[in-house]
Amino acid sequence: MITHVVSFRWKPETTAEQIALIKQALDTLPAAIADIVSYQCGPDVGAHGPANFDFAIVATFENIDGWRTYDAHPEHDRVRSETVRPWIAERAAVQFES
């Protein structure tokens, strides 16, 4: 299996409403992309203070080719470019064997 992790810091002007729309858009991806085995995302709960990033996605795939299909999928690309990317200040991504 491959676990895919992405953490984001949002731009300071990002509103709570925008973050809710980001989560809503991301949560449509598992139904649109069959290669996704599991998918969870959400805003940081605030237990660790401002050193934390603001939001994370954790998704799993059978193998790295499943991740590649997801990464290049047109629906992923649409959500990423229309809803997520405009608000990204920092991004930290890793894919690891799990």
Instruction: List contacts with a second copy (CB under 8 A).
Output: 2-3, 5, 7, 40-45, 47-48, 51-56, 58, 64, 67-68, 71, 90, 92-98
Distance CA 81, CA 67 (A): 18
Q: How far is CA 76 from the centre of its chain?
A: 10
Nearest distance from residue 15's CB to a second copy, in Å?
18
Could you tell me the smallest distance in angstroms from the CB atom of residue 9 to a second copy? 8
Instruction: CB nearer to a second copy: give 17 or 96.
Output: 96
Q: Which is nearer to a second copy, 18 or 95 (CB)?
A: 95
- In the complex with a second copy, the residue whose CB is nearer, 12 or 94, is 94
Give 69 or 83: the residue with its C-beta nearer to a second copy: 69
CA 71 to chain centre: 11
In the numeric block, which tokens belong to residue 57? 């996605």
Residue 52 near residue 8, CB atoms below 8 Å = no
- Token couple for 63: 């193998």
